[in-house]
Structure 1
Amino acid sequence: MTTPEALSPVSRTALSVALVRAYESSRPDPLFADPYAAAFAAAAGVPLPAAGPDSGLARALVAQGILRTRFYDDRLLAAGAGQVVLLAAGLDTRAHRLDWPAGTRVFELDLGPVLAFKERVLDALGAQPRATRTVLPADLLEPHWPARLVDAGFDPGRPSAWLAEGLLVYLTPGQAAALLTAVAALAAPGSRLLLEQGRDVSATPHDPALAHLTGLWRGGLGPGTRDWLDGNGWTTGLTSLERLAERHARPLPGPSAAGFVEAVRRPRGEGS
């Protein structure tokens, strides 16, 4: 039986994200409903928050996590792709909680222990996916995961939607570039990629209560994320966190430069 203690430090951050989703789902006016998030916390022995966070950084991260979830939910469904790939899926339950079009196939990739923990909780709840779901244990830092994804039924010749939610910040610039290069090789023209616009992690305020998260940050491609994608076969758009907060009438705890990138794969040979 896989326990939370068996998870890597980065994998354990998925529990923090689940807590945010559980907190939002308990509100009288949630932006989304995740009926499984609280069960992950309970299985891990983590108490559910009775109120929102206290520190400024924690409030900012929670607000971003909530708005990010809703944004990605909406954009994945709007993409209308028959193939959806959740990179470092963690405790993501979109395959179970979103109203996918008929015929959608969702691939969830992550390390084996975190997927085993998730399956144990979902099986105990009798959770049923709303799409054809393929769970694929894989280390995204290793070179063989693209071939394993294709072997599992992914078709690189068809448009797809990719989600790298909260992932790149835990990677070095080289690791992030290698991962996105592998995604680009699998993404047919018209495919979509969703991820955060990178930040300068060296400027992150110190908060001891959040060191288990921020201490793992490596920055990914940082503020140059969009530039890298635009130069490597994608056309990008940016939605700011502040715009999302205004759209959903959710005041932010302070000004924010955070934003979310939606990239569309250009036809082969068009630009870089």
Structure 2
Amino acid sequence: MRTEGDTWDIVSSVGMTALFVAAIRAAETKQPDALVHDEFAALFVAAAGDPDTNRLIDDPELWADSPLGLGFMGLRSKFFDDHFRAATEAGVRQAVILAAGLDARAYRLDWPQGMVVYEIDQPKVLEFKGQVLADAHATPTADRREVAVDLRDNWPAALIEEGFDPARPTVWSAEGLLPYLPGAAQDALFARIDQLSAPGSSLATDTFGSDVDFQQLADFQTEQMRDTSFGKIDIADLLYTDDRSDPAEWLTKQGWTTKAAPPEELAARYDRPLTEVLEPYAQMFNGMKYLTAVKPS
């Protein structure tokens, strides 16, 4: 169970979910019609040393019946990649990746000259990530700056200490993050983003409906993934279902222009059809939205 102030590394608690997502991105990269190409994802999984997670890369059939096997992760990663590209094409030169996990966008995207990318996450997660990339002699394509801090703490102060400039437009991402935050922490997260965002800033995140039965979903997923490391984690114990503001409604009230797209819209946009989603995954998909928001100039 989650507790106030709990921490994790890459092979425990919330960190293990980041490793699992990296394995799915690595498997997606190997597909002939891959929506994303993440050459670093497999390195992270290999360095973690968990054989079951490595099997997810080599044997995609292990998760073929999961929504992750429907190209879900490819769609999600492509959505956030495009969000960053659109912002930089508009002239934004400052990015913040919240709960960066094993996201390697600072290395794999073609960033423009002068781009600064801030990655916020738990200290142990960033330490692991940095070591793997250093061992691989990887070079970031932007000025990458780590901000080792918990998002439940005073992360704006830590961000500014690393050189973040609130007076400049920023492109933000909160990918696969919100259910892992208590309701109060989520609301505080958006309030802080708003306070730190100059006009012309943008945000992308993914949201879930309030009626998702995460315990039912977790039980089903655990059974499906019982031969993998993900099957050893009760995902419902990692998520918070307490009351919180609807991100789109909250941002709209603050003057942001928002747009929400369901998974089916992304599938059509990227020409990656989704097959039928069975229960209990359907309840998650039906309430899922990919949200973009822009703070008017």
Aligned counterparts, 1:8-157, within 5 A: 8-46=12-50, 47-49=54-56, 50-54=59-63, 56=65, 58-60=66-68, 63-80=71-88, 81-143=92-154, 145-157=155-167
Q: Is 1:180 aligned with 2:190?
A: yes
Q: CA deviation at 1:221?
A: 6.7
Q: For 2:294 and 2:243, how far apart are their aligned partners in 1?
A: 18
Q: 1:6 to 1:193 in 2, by over 3 A?
A: closer
Q: For 1:219 and 1:226, how far apart are their aligned partners in 2?
A: 18
Instruction: Please say which of residues 220-229 and 253-262 is displaced more in the overlay.
Output: 220-229
Aligned residues: 262
Q: 1:15 to 1:6 in 2, by over 3 A?
A: closer
Q: For 1:55 and 1:177, how far apart are their aligned partners in 2?
A: 35
Q: CA deviation at 1:55?
A: 6.8
Q: SS at 2:234's partner residue?
A: helix
Q: CA deviation at 1:247?
A: 2.3
Q: For 2:87 and 2:43, how far apart are their aligned partners in 1?
A: 29
- Pick aligned residue for 2:269 from 247, 250, 258: 247
Aligned residue for 1:270?
Answer: none
Q: For 2:240 and 2:69, how far apart are their aligned partners in 1?
A: 17
Displaced runs of 4+ in structure 1, greater than 6 A? 220-223
- Which structure 2 segments of 5+ residues have no match? 1-7, 226-230, 278-284
Q: For 1:217 and 1:62, how far apart are their aligned partners in 2?
A: 23
Q: For 2:256 and 2:62, how far apart are their aligned partners in 1?
A: 37
Paired residue type of 1:102: Q
* Percentage of identical aligned residues: 39
Q: SS at 1:238's partner residue?
A: strand
Q: CA deviation at 1:199?
A: 2.5
Aligned residue for 2:281?
Answer: none
CA offset digits 1:177-236 (Å, max 9, x no partner): 011111111011110011012323642433124553343121477782211221233221
Q: For 1:190 and 1:221, how far apart are their aligned partners in 2?
A: 30
- Which structure 1 segments of 5+ residues have no match? 268-272
Paired residue type of 1:72: F
TM-score, structure 1 normalization: 0.88
Q: For 2:86 and 2:138, how far apart are their aligned partners in 1?
A: 24
Q: For 1:35 and 1:60, how far apart are their aligned partners in 2?
A: 19
Q: Is the 8 A contact 1:163 1:193 kept in 2?
A: yes
Paired residue type of 2:146: V
Paired residue type of 1:51: P
Paired residue type of 2:156: P
Q: For 1:221 and 1:43, how far apart are their aligned partners in 2?
A: 38
Q: 1:198 to 1:228 in 2, by over 3 A?
A: farther
TM-score, structure 2 normalization: 0.81
